[in-house]
Structure 1
């Protein structure tokens, strides 16, 4: 196992690679930005709420909930 020595002041230097290092990578990314332009955002339409299905409520329960101020009126 190798013990890498890191300088105590400042930030550690970026590891070198075969492609030219971090500055080269940043330059490549900056040159590619025009090729990856995001499409214009289309206005989103509000989704309609799903209709309840398969639910039956007894009339007495419906009246009870309708009478409660937190639920019905």
Structure 2
């Protein structure tokens, strides 16, 4: 069985307020990088090939409601 290390690398301020949270986030900004935004374009169906779905899976998906309706 693997022993997981549950130690916290930095002290945690459980009584902190929104200002301290925003300060923590502001200090972390230089460490974060965001990917460049690229608009996703739809792929024409003519370029989609070689995809097969087993009939059982297709029936299962067909029986599912959309967005929990």
What band does the TM-score fall into relative to the shorter chain? Answer: 0.3 to 0.5
TM-score by length of 2: 0.33
Structure 1 or 2, whichever has the larger Rg, is: 1
Higher relative contact order (CA 8 A, sep 6+): 1
TM-score by length of 1: 0.32
